[in-house]
Amino acid sequence: MSYDYGLKGKNIFMTGIAGSSMCGIAYILSDIGCNVSGSDRNLPADRSAFESRGIKVYDKHEASNIPADCDILVYTAAVDSSNPEVAEARKRGIEILSRAQFLGRVIDCFDNRIGISGTHGKSTTSSMIATCMADSAKKYSYNVGCVVRSDVDMPVSNGQDYFVFEACEYRDSFLNFRSDVAIILNIELEHLDYFNNLEQVLTSFKKFANNISQGGNLVINMDDSNTKAVAAKVRPDINVVTCSSTDSTADYYPINVEYDDDACASYTIYENGKPGAKIKLRIPGEHNVINSLCACAAMRKAGLSWGEIVDGIAKFRGSGRRFDFKCNVGSLAIYDDYAHHPSEIRASINTAKKLKKPVCVVFQPHTFSRTKHLMKDEAAALSLADQVIMVDIYAAREADPGDINSQMVSDLINRKGGNSVYMASFAEVQEYLKTVAHEEKTVITMGAGDVYKVADFFAK
């Protein structure tokens, strides 16, 4: 197959180009010789990654942004058909593809496709695998939903032997992707503005799993009952590979799990009942044991040696906004975390507790629909922290329905025995943290919106 995916020289416009997956696609397209431009209302202050590749970007969505010779318009799920650029492309007869449709077309050009799915842990697991590919000098490309922190140079595209990608279930986008090795890390009810119930989510994951190529491999976290249920319903030609943090009947499991002072695990991984390698993680948290087990299993099925895996993991320092250390302010250690689902919140707080300091969470709920449906579980998870500062809900794509707000979540946390207060602005939070900078605490800005700006204020 051609390394240019049949797209070299095409003029491609990307609506919502600043999203982590979208900009990754833009970089790949530029690297293979496409003429790329795009728009986003939330462009980063530092646009050098675009500028160095000759990618022209606009900070507004306008019909006039689309070049006269545009061949394809790719749009993110955050925009709809009323977007002026999408409407203009339709008017001019330009081919219009969603991000997932377009990415699926690119993925199909590869011989070894590794897709990482699950309600939680996709970005970290995908980034770990991509780092190992880069370190072992494989000819690979990757597309993930975060910044990869690694000690090895990480070009988004340097060959066509492997494609590592994050397969998100939102709006069933992952049904556009076919894998040769697929991972399902876990399955929970999420994205409540699209999925109505857990059964609908399970049905989507079954379809994703059955998109695996003939005789391919499905790597699962067998500790998760929903994932096991999905794996039981895949085609008989698909090889189900099991991973477990605790069950030695799994194909891959750890023994002698230990944690260092930074809450990072090390363990010996067993493969089919025999010792495989000594794994030392540089990312904290118990949840990253199962993430790394699944990553190791997928890489083994994709043909990597234990030496390549061990060396690559040793150079993986984590993913942006995943328990991401930002700075010290006086005696405060400030981290940032993308957690926005109750299970993720719980995992992040439990990780912080291993650092043996009081934990203060600055939490920004993500979307009104999620907050309304998961408020009880959200409050219960947040109650694990020693202190919670609630800020306003991040609306994202939704309008405020007027029947849910952060003060309500804060009140529920207190009724559950927690310690929570609502603050109306980031500036108020920042001023408060300044006043307690003499206290020994782990502070986490948490949420999938823009609460990271509180941490960035101190880190700049």
* Per-domain residue ranges of the chain: 11-99, 110-319, 324-459
Which residues, in sequence order, are CB contacts of 369 under 8 Å at separation 6+?
192, 193, 398
Report the sign of the C-alpha dihedral through residues 139, 166, 61, 426, in that order.
Answer: negative
Report the amino acid identity of residue 13.
Answer: F
Comparing CA positions, the residue from 13, 20, 9 lying closest to residue 37 is 13
In this prediction the pTM is 0.92
d(CA 236, CA 80): 38
For domain 110-319, the CATH class is alpha beta
For domain 324-459, the CATH class is alpha beta
Superfamily of domain 11-99: NAD(P)-binding Rossmann-like Domain (3.40.50.720)
What pLDDT shows up at residue 3? 61
pLDDT tens for each residue of 181-204 = 999 999 999 998 899 999 999 999
What pLDDT shows up at residue 192? 84
List, for the chain, all residue ranges whose pLDDT scores fall below the cut of 70. Answer: 1-4
What pLDDT shows up at residue 1? 39
What strands, in cross-sheet order, belong to the sheet with 441-446? 324-329, 332-337, 441-446, 359-363, 387-390, 420-422
